[in-house]
Structure 1
Amino acid sequence: MRLFSAILIALTIMSCTPKNQVTVNINTTDIVTENFIGNGVQLDPYPHADTKDADWGLLMTPEKWARVYHRLDYMQPHFMRIVDQANWRYLKGFDKNNNPIIDFDTDEEKVLEQLLDYCEKNNITVLLGEWGVPYEVHDVDAGFSGILKGANDPVWISMIVDHLDYLINTKGYTCIRYFNLVNEPNGDWSTVDGDYDQWREGASMLAQALRDKGLDKTVTIAGPDAVAHCDNHKSDYTGMEWIHQAADDLKDDMGALEIHAYLEAHIIREGRIEIDYANLAEKAREVNLPILFGELGTDRNSAENQARVAKDPYACEDSQMDVYDFSYGIDMANATIQVMNTGFHGSAAWAADDAMHTLNDLGNKNEIKRWGFWNSLGTELCNNPADEAIRPWFYTWSLTCRYIQPGSSIVKTEVLNCEGLRVVTAVNGKQVTIGIVNTTEADHNLTLNADVASNALFQEFVYEENAYKVDAEEFPVAEQNKLSFKQNQLDISVAANSFRLLTTYSF
């Protein structure tokens, strides 16, 4: 038995040595996912810093916003999740009869609208939502707690529909395609607190109200927005069961299945996403709905990460300090490659900017949520202008957004003889994009086999530690020489712990 184990280990090592030629077969006619929606980010209005009356005042100046948009212009996110609160934008409280006081002409509402203006201009699919029942989450008690009774309160449902009607019919936004009713309703931090029946009833009421208002042709519900690996003991269902149950109960009321996941690094590195989440993609196909990750990131709860948090005087416990590291670019590229190969239609990374949120959104400057590609308020909040710079993982995530365009087909890509090497291929007409991540400690020589025209030229982007190229604005720069398939074959070398993206797009 020991001899067999030793031989097996030796063969495994040999299968991923630099001397081994790894074969990758790409079948451009075997479609995993049609009409890919796109990868993107969560970018919320900055509730602590977006107006003169915000907790910190107007720190997100037009110049700050312009820099955010300029960086997004390079990334080209095609899917954006925007989550807010009614009482941060347009709900000004309740009158003496407990009727909501609504005002769509506020400075706060205008901030949301300028963010939607950007999405509209750039054809970004928007998933809009609210964190939860107004005055019940992310707020110091303003004296209105308890007036709204839950996610199935018809008053709240009516407010949401009136707001969507204003945004769509009055303001003319066509980018708002989906709506979340309550963030992560299966969590014990949610206003629903795992009460599936309350959420289901509210979602059904909202779907009917959208139909009654004639808005359902523009915007539909995406849900259940559950955290797939969170099991709330007060809920009748596990996180995974929430998604299956919602698909069964509300398949005619929803426009997309949508979930969240914060994955332990070893789950990503072992390739478990394609195993653990395949049944959700299959469920989406069964009910004929697209399926999306509304939030995707890595788990923050490790002792190592929390030790790093404790050393940062500005970070709260809900932070992922790996965003500063080269390795996070590898892990997130690995995750999204697996997500696409599993049959999902897109992912939004949590999150674009540290400056968006604080712990429980109470506005404490020493409790910011470090998850972003940058911190727009590094100078103002942390006395650290360098914190406003683009971080390494922008490189890999931006490329998966920019060069895997909406409407693409994700096709079958098979790595024959090397664990730890993952490849995704997107085809959009004559355009082809191939993403490769090598999570092993060895360099590999790859032979890519695909039915690709010999005159198609591929840009190549290379992300290796201390060796990836960026321009003066820290945007990715392609290698000087372009690549092409010869007789449907392309040989390339991929370094250990690296990412590569090949694309025929020339922009």
Structure 2
Amino acid sequence: MLKNINYKYVLLLAFLVTGISCSDDFEAPAEEPISTELVIELGTVINDSYIGNGVQWDPYPQAYKFWDLPIQDVDWQKMYDRLDYMKPSFLRVVFGSYDKYAHLGADNYNPIIFLEGMERILQYCQDNNITVMLGDWGYNQMDVNQNRIFENRITNAAKYVKFLVEEKGFTCIKYYTTVNEPNLEGSATEGDYDLWKRTTEAFYRKLDSLGVSSKVKLAGPDIAPFSDNLTNWVTDMTADLGDKVKLYDIHTYPPKEAMYNGVYERTLAAYKNAAPAGTPIVIGEYGFKYETGTSQIDQNLYNANLENINSSANIALDSNTLVDEYFHGVDLIAATMKIVNAGYSGAINWNLDDAMHSGSNSGQDLKVWGFWNILGVEILGNPQKEEVRPHFYSFSLISRYMQNGTKVFKVNIPRLVGVDAIAVENDGKYMIAINNIFSEDYEINVKAIGLSLSGAKKFVYKENDRTVDVNGYPTPEEENLSYDFSAGETLSVPGTTLTVITNFDY
């Protein structure tokens, strides 16, 4: 049964989420009935060729360069097996030239040094037809204090891409970003748009002169906005670089309050609308910092995360320790669904593995964000850290059933607090997914004229008693189900859960 949620209750929640207080004498309008109907418009396609969902998987620079802990074969295989289930079709891989070909000096070039981590990741992507967006943190290519770029180093960066694509055969590399989050202080450009533009133009010229620009396309601007006030980076890039940039890309780290109040949807819309019509735009990095909001919800989460960080020398300040919590898996899907429904063409979660990065070179203060820590035994002496975290379940389903080329339909979602939904199709198979980040249980009537599914599976990501196999991978709660969505199907959607219905045969 739909629990008794009235108009006054919804308004009160809005006050709480946005941090606005309300007095005891608040008078709510008369109750209005709340629709529980979710309508999938199969005739309205908001994206006809989704690139995919995936993760950032960087080539373990500190493990190889500083810790003398190269990833062992058994651990690589463990990760490959998990990714085989997740089936990401879009990955971001970022490195620093100083951790690779320029290890011996900014002007040096040796493409085979510290290659193993990169090679292992790219080989997996090549073998599994995964689209890769490669990138450099950018620090060696310019000097922000001198307002100059280093042409020879940019040449080496382009040569390295050519080496990976042509000599090593990693044609899975389809896109490249020159500087990570160039709008931010602390980035290689320190927020200087002109310096980023000149660097990116120079890199394109080098890549083109090497005959690789037709194989690897530029993506950008790769900015990390925390509101909708940086769309000028997108419009200026369009004016200055034109069709040299084939994929638009931004990063987002919304507060949890933005999952409720419509702010995240408006932010996503602002950047998509700033890009040229018809040009694909992706979220190249996203997650939750729980430090960017003003609500009590975010403050409580921020305090809990900070307490965890301060309690252990093994956790870097730049961490989200709440990835250990079940609810993070629902939060992450709420953001993912909003990205999909905003018309974006892909979403890459930060990140796959705690062992990828450390706050220092010691290897002890890891940046905790991942689905696991593959060096949990080697670094921390704790095998439990190598197990999959709860959000592996929820994110794997949304990645697994949205392969490259997926068609995304418009969904009219009922105005129930905390509810998001997506509906997709690929090669005649469908996935309908409903996420509920709120604590209330709902019954939702799902309609889609002309759609019936047989032999369908139903997965439910829930805190207790969720069905998994011996590896911790999701298994269906029910199988061989039939749905007639033309007539309407009523689905129970408990609080703080993800429900996935699909007739994909894997």
* TM-score, length of structure 2 as denominator length: 0.88
2:294 aligned residue: none
**Structure 2 counterpart of 1:209, from 184, 206, 211:** 206
Picking from 61, 69, 89, the partner of 1:47 is 61
| Residue matched to 1:63 | 74
Deviation at 1:487, TM superposition (A): 5.9
Distance 1:314-1:42 versus aligned 2 partners, 3 A rule: same
- Which residue does the alignment assign to 2:41? 27
Q: Is 1:261 the counterpart of 2:256 in the alignment?
A: no
2:372, 2:485 → 1: CA distance? Answer: 43
Whether the 8 Å CA contact 1:151–1:181 is kept in 2: the answer is no
CA distance in 2, matches of 1:324, 1:305: 10
Gaps of at least 5 residues in structure 1 are: 16-20, 137-145, 232-237
Match of 1:78 among 89, 107, 119: 89
Instruction: Name whichever of 314-323 and 457-466 sits farther off.
Output: 457-466
Find the residue that maps to 1:257 and give its secondary structure. Answer: strand
Change (3 A) 1:392 1:227: same
| CA displacement at 1:35 relative to structure 2 | 0.9
* Equivalent residues of 2:141, 2:154 under 8 A apart: no
Q: CA separation in 2, counterparts of 1:243 and 1:303?
A: 34
Q: Which residue of the other structure, out of 91, 106, 111, is the alignment partner of 1:104?
A: 111
Alignment of 1:423-502 (within 5 A): 423-486=421-484, 488=486, 489-502=488-501
Matched, 1:241 2:232: yes
Higher mean C-alpha deviation, range 480-489 or range 350-359: 480-489
The aligned counterpart of 1:381 is 379
CA RMSD of aligned residues (A): 2.5
Q: Distance in 1 between matches of 2:96 and 2:24?
A: 62
Q: Distance in 2 between matches of 1:93 and 1:125?
A: 31
One of 385, 401, 404 as aligned partner of 2:402: 404
Residue identity matched to 2:279: L
Query: Secondary structure of 2:389's match?
Result: coil
Distance 1:207 1:470 in 2: 47
Conserved? CA contact 2:48–2:408, under 8 Å: yes
Q: Deviations over 1:265-310 (max 9, x none)?
A: 1112434322221121223352x32111111001243233212211
* TM-score normalised according to structure 1 size: 0.88
Q: How many residues get paired?
A: 474
CA distance in 2 between partners of 1:437 and 1:122 (Å): 28
Contact kept, 8 Å, 1:151 with 1:198, in 2: the verdict is yes
Cα deviation, 1:407-456, whole Å, max 9, x if unaligned, reads 11111000234242111111223111112111232211111111354353
Taking the aligned partners of 1:379 and 1:55, their CA distance within structure 2 comes to 18
SS in 1 for 2:204: helix
Is the 1:224–1:258 contact (alpha carbons within 8 Å) kept by the matching residues of 2?
yes
Residues 350-365 of structure 1: pairs in structure 2 closer than 5 A: 350-359=350-359, 362-365=360-363
- In the superposition, relative to structure 1, how do residues 473 and 427 fare at CA in structure 2: closer, same or farther (>3 Å)? same
Q: 1:147 to 1:7 in 2, by over 3 A?
A: closer
What is the CA-CA distance between 1:395 and the residue it aligns to?
0.8
2:331 maps to amino acid: D
Equivalent pair of 2:354/2:367 in contact (CA under 8 Å): yes
Q: Aligned-pair distance for 1:457?
A: 3.0
Counterparts of residues 27-176 of structure 1 (less than 5 Å): 27-50=41-64, 54-94=65-105, 100-106=107-113, 108-134=114-140, 152-176=149-173
Task: State the partner residue of 2:268.
Answer: 277
C-alpha contact (below 8 Å) 2:323/2:369 kept by paired residues: yes
Matches of 1:425 and 1:147, distance apart in 2 = 45
* Structure 2 counterpart of 1:357, one-letter code: H
How much identity, in percent, do the aligned residues show? Answer: 30
Distance change (3 Å), C-alpha of 1:151 and 1:406: farther
Q: What is the CA–CA distance in structure 1 between the aligned matches of 2:257 and 2:467, rounded to whole Å? A: 28
Residue 18 of structure 1 is matched in structure 2 by none
Q: Could you say what secondary structure the match of 1:71 adopts?
A: helix
Structure 2 residues without counterparts, runs of 5 or longer: 1-7, 9-22, 292-301
Identify the residue that residue 218 of structure 2 maps to in structure 1: 221
Q: Is the CA contact (8 Å cut-off) linking 2:442 and 2:494 kept in structure 1?
A: yes
CA distance in 1, matches of 2:238, 2:251: 15
Aligned to 2:288: 298
1:336 aligns with 2:336: yes
Query: Post-superposition shift, 1:240?
Result: 3.6
